[in-house]
Amino acid sequence: MNSSSEIWIEKYRPKTLDEVAGQKEIVARLRMYAASKSLPHLLFTGSAGIGKTTCAVALARELFGDTWSMNFRELNASDERGIDVVRTQIKQFARTSPLGDAEFKVLFLDEADALTNDAQAALRRTMENYAETCRFILSCNYSSKIIDPIQSRCAIYRFKPLTEDAVREQMDRIAKNEGISVEENAYPAIFYVAQGDMRKAINALQGAAIVSDTVTAENAYAVTSTANPKEIADLLEVVLEGDFETGVHMLSALMYDKGIAPNELLIQLYCAVSAASPDVLDRKVRADFIDAIGEADFRLSEGANPAIQMDALIAKFVRRIQV
């Protein structure tokens, strides 16, 4: 195995639009902007790790060529959320002239949904006043948190979660370059861990490659503190049999022996309940289980005791089966 200590997320970050995985339709449209050397304001929206930042940087590289780093700036709005960042850093960059042969500069504002409403209102004015010298690419997880005046000024691109094929293609490329062996059962395990997030997938692959010469499903789950789907299925089976004590014991083993976070277990339980066949869970029971998972998730987010809430969830499952 290659003993390189580099972080693979950065090492294998796509440099061009052609290298971006899983977003063919969006890449095709961005490539047209690069070819025409023209760009409107853009709004990228979607979950984490699916290529929003990568596409912005790759687009800048293709727009500006060798001068891309001088005409492109990236800011993270979650670091400074207030109006001052718009009035100082953003405005200062936007009003200066582009360098080289470029007709405009590009400012990429990541996690723009973290900006306050006042900051977004100031940003809207900045986008208007300096449209000739600067184009804005905003990135967010939830477009509903971006005010309408900004949304109406942007071409909106909604990034979809990456498919298993897209994740596997990238895993194969990295494994080949790093000279590591990946068992066939590791690919679905890595995708299960990643849930469409390429960064999680690459981290899982690198972590598993460090602990073993061969990447397997077992060490992929282990290095990411993720329960094996079979363990979740076994827990669900015990609950459906109405065995509360065994269910609590199995849940405690996952939380305390394996160190899996309660909110991660809730996500895995939700996936297992959603994917269960009608023969295992009828529609009404499935709906009640998902409702109970949602309530537990909310209570944990509000600071409730994890042990009590997770045991209460198992109790609700068992009581629903015994009705």
The token pair at 16 is 């061009």
Q: Which residues of 85-122 are buried (b: 16+ CB within 10 A; e: fewer)?
A: bbeeebbebbeeebeeebebbbbbbbbbbbbeeebbeb
Residue 238, φ and ψ in degrees, nearest 5 = -65, -40
Task: Using DSSP, state whether 255 is helix, strand or coil.
Answer: helix
Which pLDDT score, from 0 to 100, does residue 86 have? 72
Contact 20, 31 (CB under 8 A): no
In the predicted structure, residue 147 carries a pLDDT above the cut 90: yes
Domains defined for the chain, CATH in brackets? 23-158 (3.40.50.300), 164-223 (1.10.8.60), 229-322 (1.20.272.10)
Look up the pTM and report it: 0.81
Report residue 67's pLDDT band, with 50, 70 and 90 as the boundaries: confident
In the predicted structure, residue 1 carries a pLDDT above the cut 50: no
Model confidence pLDDT, tens digit, residues 261-318 = 999 999 999 999 998 888 888 889 999 999 999 999 999 999 999 999 999 999 999 9
